[in-house]
Amino acid sequence: MILPTDSVAIWTAATVVGLTAVLFALNSVASATIDPAEPPAIQPTIPFVGHLISMLTERGSWYRRLYKKSSLPIFTLPILNGKLYVMNSPALVQAAMRTPEISFDPFFAEFTNGMLGLNSRQAAVINNKKCMEELLQIIHTTLMGPPLHKVNVNALGYLAGELNKVPRDRSLQVANSFLWLRNHLTTATGVGLYGKNNPLADKAIDLLWTFNEGAISLSLGAPGFIFPRAVSARSGLNKRLNAYYAARHDEGDDVSDLIQKRAVKLREFGFQDEDWGEELILPWVGSTNTIPVSFWIFVHLFTNPDYLSRVRAEFEAILDRKEGPHGPVVSINVDHLESGKVEKTIPFLNAIWLEALRFYLHNVGIRRIMSDVSIKDGDGREYLLKKGVNIQWPPMVLHFLDSAWGTDAETFDPERFLNVPASVDKLRRGANVPFGGGKHLCPGRRFAMSEVLGLIGAVALGFDVKGLILPESRDPPVGHAPRVAVLHPGFKLSRRKGWEDVTFEFAG
Ligand code: HEM
């Protein structure tokens, strides 16, 4: 029986979920009238709210259904008294990424204010255009080249240390593969970014993932009281971050350039010791996509003997082995795992990575039209886009287009990323967008790749993973990207025969 208080809670939750969908789709100032030069409209079955209800109930399959039904490269969806554009054509997605009038900028302030619960001083700093541009510039330049190498070496060094703790004479029963990967990779990301005084270790891992449960809804403007667990986790994380920066741990030699330079910049713009909760955005973006994709790679690899033997052979070809005081030391040079190298050093594991991103990571691209502008599709057809309207590109459509991926697009097959002819590669531009694109193309993509492939490669090399199954997946709720596993299987982890005494290391 539903008690009155339960029904109030259900209605409140439903209202918030509905509000989340509205905010994800609409800019409240956009008008509903549609010019004939705008993308054709798909009217909802139930006026005003039909698309909203479908977005909530059908999740990602809503985008797929509308595209299958209409085959339109772009359409306009009237919702309430506003409208939303959705692009399904790779050429249009590329055009949108190149067009300055189609911008992500307004979302920075809108999203971070709600998600991070900024105080007025933090908000003033973050809403300062110059400061925001300089902070983004720091992110984009410190997650590449030598500064990234340092992050990779520190993160992978931590992971090697964890693998070396696996007992040499017995197996470990891991109850939940997702949690196992989550805990190791969240800590590795923290060590890579923040150094040995990583504020996101131990209990903070649970806090980060509890915060994640409400983060998207909060970013879209949902009131904090609906997500008390997420808000309380955020306070706990804020305290840890404030203590880290107050102690000036950000100035340590093992800290990434990213954290160091942002701290200098934020202090310059007025941040004080109690303002560092804003920097929670970094570990949050750094973990919430990386860990789900690592899970999908892990379950595919360790349930497929053919994949596993290919990956083992790739890592056996790049490792160095020497005798140490406590037995053999197997060393993998981090250079081999970095962007631009993996296509040659570990091509098959790299192909699994790319296929897992295509198949499971569906970050809906979101931008706002800043002034009336036209964009052209590949066939020369032009569409007028009106100021103030939000526009989206859904990977759940783009990543499965027959025209880009072939008729087996619905099958998980890493082979599609091996020996790709230039003509096919060209067709996939704009259809393969796990990291977004244009000015905002994810700057963390190279770090995520090295960290995940290094961990999984080392496990494949030195360990047996038994009892794992490949679970089914379902679409995530509105605003979330990774497809959700219907269960998180456990497994038994033991050292491989002949590798019992090996110590692993990642060399810089
Ligand atoms: C598999 C892992 C990851 C995926 C799938 C992913 C995906 C994305 C996507 C889709 C965007 C939006 C791009 C756009 O709208 O065009 C983005 C932006 C961003 N990501 Fe990632 N990301 C991952 C890992 C990381 C990591 C590890 C970090 C940092 C340590 C990171 C930092 C960022 C930042 C700072 C932005 C905003 C960039 C800007 O607006 O200029 N990401 N990411």
286 lines ligand 1 (CB under 6 A): yes
pLDDT of residue 9: 52
285 lines ligand 1 (CB under 6 A): yes
Ligand 1 atom index nearest CA of 281:
35
Give per-residue pLDDT as tens, 234-278. 999 999 999 999 999 999 999 999 999 999 999 999 999 999 999
442 alpha carbon – ligand 1 mean position (Å): 4
pLDDT of residue 253: 96
444 lines ligand 1 (CB under 6 A): yes
Binding-site residues from annotation for heme: 442
Among the listed residues 266, 245, 283, the one whose alpha carbon sits nearest the alpha carbon of residue 151: 283
Instruction: For a ligand 1 pocket test, name from 435, 439, 483 the mutation site with the most ligand atoms within 8 angstroms of its C-beta.
Output: 435
Q: pLDDT above 90 covers what percent of the chain?
A: 82
Instruction: For a ligand 1 pocket test, name from 94, 136, 156, 285 the mutation site with the most ligand atoms within 8 angstroms of its C-beta.
Output: 285
> How far apart are alpha carbons 366 and 85 in whole angstroms?
10
> How far apart are alpha carbons 502 and 479 in whole angstroms?
43
pLDDT of residue 19: 63
> How far apart are alpha carbons 241 and 259 in whole angstroms?
12
Among the listed residues 291, 387, 302, the one whose alpha carbon sits nearest the alpha carbon of residue 27: 387
144 lines ligand 1 (CB under 6 A): no
27 lines ligand 1 (CB under 6 A): no
Q: What is the CA radius of gyration of the chain?
A: 23
Q: What 3 state SS string does 380-442 have?
A: CCEEEECCCCEEEECHHHHCCCHHHHCCCCCCCCHHHHCCCCHHHHHHHCCCCCCCCCHHHCC
pLDDT of residue 13: 57
361 lines ligand 1 (CB under 6 A): yes
**Residues in the chain with pLDDT values less than 50:** 1-5, 8, 11
pLDDT of residue 18: 63
Could you tell me the domains of the chain? 23-92+365-405 (no CATH), 119-363+434-507 (1.10.630.10)
> How far apart are alpha carbons 493 and 362 in whole angstroms?
30
287 lines ligand 1 (CB under 6 A): no
289 alpha carbon – ligand 1 mean position (Å): 8
459 alpha carbon – ligand 1 mean position (Å): 26
443 lines ligand 1 (CB under 6 A): yes
> How far apart are alpha carbons 391 and 22 in whole angstroms?
13
Indicate if the alpha-carbon torsion angle 298, 304, 306, 309 is positive or negative: positive
pLDDT of residue 31: 63
- Residue 120, SS3 per DSSP: helix
pLDDT, mean over the chain: 92
450 lines ligand 1 (CB under 6 A): no
373 lines ligand 1 (CB under 6 A): no
Among the listed residues 340, 342, 476, 489, the one whose alpha carbon sits nearest the alpha carbon of residue 414: 342
Residue nearest to ligand 1 atom 1, measured at CA: 290
pLDDT of residue 424: 94
pLDDT of residue 110: 80
Check residue 491 and give left, alpha or beta (phi > 0: left; psi -120 to 50: alpha). Answer: beta
Q: Quote the DSSP letter at residue 254.
A: T
Ligand 1 atom index nearest CA of 193:
30
The tokens for 52 are 């909203």
363 alpha carbon – ligand 1 mean position (Å): 10
